[in-house]
Amino acid sequence: MAKRKKTKVAIQGIATSFHEVAALTYFQEPIETVECLSFHELCESLKNGTSDYAVMAIENSIAGSILPNYFLLQSYHFSIIGELYLPIHMHLLALPGVKLDDIKSIESHPMAIRQCTEFIHTLNGVEVRESDDTALSAKRVKELKLKNTAAIANEFAAKKFGLQILEKRIETHKKNFTRFLVLTKRSNGKLESNKASLCFEVANEVGSLAEALMTFKNNSINLTKIQSIPIIGKPSEYSIHIDVEWKRRKSYDEAMRQVLRQVKNLNVLGEYKKAKIEYR
């Protein structure tokens, strides 16, 4: 009997990165992760068919929205089929035997660094370096035997690369999570949904955005996210990204019919099931 082919999922980073943890958590089945060191590479993997799905971080509860990823969503026209809120626990990792006083530099992904700024500010004279991935930073410390460098990463990276945890839970706020989107090239359109991600443009006139947003309110649609993105080549014009939730599908459909007459270039990025936020 032929073996079932594993689903290929593109992640930003390498094995044990938070993206891999998110992918494994969401799919709940054996998957093959396709490692990508940038979000652009991740999108190219999905576009070119070297992966079936992609898992992309879009915002963090401490560091905020990842704005470049909104531009990627617009450029590649993928479908969002799901989301996941992953609790993020950051640890300071170093080679066995190294003490905190020995550390002269800290390395990690820029978003991880932003989530740990309060802890980093307590360290005097320590250089902070940005890298492509949290797990990759841990791997570098191990392979290059960097005795005066620590990495900010998760406990899975510590175990995989044989590093000790110098300081646990160094994130600025303990209820820290990252929201990930699950992307595919073509949605089958049959998913159960109660949430949608949309983007559109409005006229540069007084009240034009407010009018569109009131349409959702008047139809009992909950607005959970709003993000403006500059439109390249059009100064003072923005693309508006919103996330909405509904209890009755008819209410959402009616709101969409009305808002179509109020905005320009309305694009449904995806309709999917709302994920739970569970702190651990």
- Cβ–Cβ < 8 Å for 269, 197: yes
Is the pLDDT assigned to residue 189 strictly greater than 80?
Answer: no
Average pLDDT of the segment spanning 215-232 = 95
Task: Specify the pLDDT at position 188.
Answer: 67
Task: List, in order of start, the domains of the chain with CATH numbers.
Answer: 8-87+176-184 (3.40.190.10), 91-167 (3.40.190.10), 195-272 (3.30.70.260)
Give the integer Cα–Cα distance in Å for 18 and 89.
10
**Above 80 in pLDDT, residue 187?**
no
Structure confidence by residue, pLDDT tens digits, 59-85: 999 999 999 999 999 999 999 999 999
pTM of the model: 0.93
Is 211 strand, coil or helix? helix
**pLDDT at position 279, please?**
74
Q: Side chain identity at 40, as an amino acid letter? A: H
Q: To the nearest whole percent, how much of the chain has pLDDT over 90?
A: 87
pLDDT given at position 245: 98
3-state secondary structure of 246: coil
Joined together, the tokens standing for residue 84 give: 């996941």
pLDDT beyond 70 at 204? yes
Distance of CA 62 to CAs 58, 87, 110, Å?
12, 12, 12
The pLDDT, as a whole number, for residue 181 is 98
pLDDT at 192: 86
Handedness of CA 180, 186, 190, 196 (dihedral sign): positive
Does residue 1 carry a pLDDT above 70? Answer: no
| pLDDT score of 232 more than 60 | yes
Q: Which of 3-7, 9-13, 106-110, 191-195 has the lowest mean pLDDT?
A: 3-7
